[in-house]
Amino acid sequence: MKTKSGFMLRSIAGCKVVVSVGKRTLDFNGIINLNDTGAFLWERLEQGATEDELVKAILENYTDVDEATARQSVVNFVKTLCDAGCLDD
């Protein structure tokens, strides 16, 4: 899975936002606000991480979460991005 080219993750006043910088992403009519975990996963999705790699990255970086919770979180996040048209097929 990979984020579509044409999105840019940046920090505005301490908040992580994803903005659109290309025609391919213009159908996403808005600006995405991400929390810290969302931004963490987005950065990995920019590199084309798989679901398993995202879960592994969460488990390595967050000590207060078990694998089932991490996987559910990844699935929810990926679904949200897919619905918003942010990921390449």
* Site residues for another protein per CB under 8 A: 8, 10, 12-13, 15-17, 19-23, 25-31, 33-38, 40-41, 58, 62, 64-65, 69-70, 73-77, 79-80
Residue 49, CA distances (Å) to 14, 29, 30, 71 in order? 25, 25, 24, 14
* Closer residue to another protein (CB): 11 or 89: 11
The helix-helix angle for 51-61 and 36-46 (nearest 10°) equals: 130
CB of 89 to another protein, least distance (A): 20
The C-alpha atoms of residue 73 and residue 53 are separated, in whole angstroms, by 13
For residues 22 and 48, which CB has a smaller minimum distance to another protein in the complex? Answer: 22
